[in-house]
Structure 1
Amino acid sequence: MKTNYWIIVASKDHVKDAVLQGIAQTCHGKAAPLKRMRKDDYIIYYSGKQTISKPEKCHEFTALGKVVDDEIYQHHVSDDFCPSRRNIDFLECEDLSILPLINDLQFIQNKKNGVTLSVLEFLK
């Protein structure tokens, strides 16, 4: 089976927390995007913002990891929030600005507004 590469969009503060926990979580905890991933696929986190509730921009790739297994599980955060997650083995890497890379990234169709990525992109 071929290896796929996925981009998950999340604020940088959420990404750093996910890295510490060794997990991926998408679309406010929805399972559907996680079900598309397979063991040994790679994920790249892209952060358009520094913090989810603040306007400060980031525009960086903020984490890179490998999907550990084929298990999706729910994690109880609060009585009304039980997001789906996957286990990820994150690689040690530095944050990287997307801005100088936009013209070379084939999956970005609109180069002018290229820093607006979908929540989950599949890299071909």
Structure 2
Amino acid sequence: MRYFVGVVHRRQAAMARAAGIVAFSHGRAAPVKSLAPGDRVVFYAPKTDFDGDPVQAFVAHARVTGDAPRERDFATGMTGWCRDAAFDEVTAAPVRPLLDHLSFVKNPRHWGMAFRQGKFEISGSDYRLIADALGVDA
């Protein structure tokens, strides 16, 4: 089992949860191909939407259940790649109180740099810290 952070807007995280899928980087195939059943994904939301208000919190937790990536419609005329996933009920966890404890944040003054990727792997200890903050039994 591996652990990942997916960086999406809060609205996108809610849509993924409602659809029971994980997807990253505007539906690109490569980010979901590297996942396996049982992998855990925590979603970080910088904003409510593309031009929305700041959120800066972890907002969702999922366990990958799909055996293989599949292509699906995300919106009229837009398709993308995803994996099926089961989501847990969570309480959003602001990122700032966790910054000094997350090993992937190399410079707390420039912590936002860590979240410039659409998806990245994290350590088990970082995952447990975030999962605990979300209220998920890790």
Superposed pair shares fold, TM > 0.5: yes
Could you say which residue in structure 2 is the equivalent of 1:121?
120
The residue type equivalent to 1:85 in the other structure is: C
Identity %: 22
What is the aligned length?
Answer: 120
For structure 1, list consecutive stretches of 5 or more residues without a partner in the other structure: none
CA RMSD of aligned residues (A): 1.1
Q: Distance in 2 between matches of 1:21 and 1:110?
A: 35
* d(CA) in 1 for partners of 2:120, 2:14: 20
TM-score, normalised to structure 2, is 0.82
Please say if residues 62 and 95 of structure 1, whose CA atoms lie closer than 8 Å, have aligned partners that are also in contact.
yes
Query: For the residues of structure 2 that align with 1:35 and 1:109, how far apart are their CA atoms?
Result: 27
Query: Offset of 1:115 from its aligned partner?
Result: 3.1
Deviation per CA, 1:62-100: give whole Å up to 9, x if none. Answer: 000100022211112333x11111111001111100111
Partner secondary structure for residue 82 of structure 1: strand
Matched residue, 1:19: 17
TM-score by length of 1: 0.91
- Whole-angstrom distance in 2 between the partners of 1:9 and 1:115: 11
Q: Which residue of 2 aligns with 1:82?
A: 79
List runs of 5+ in structure 2 lacking aligned partners: 124-138
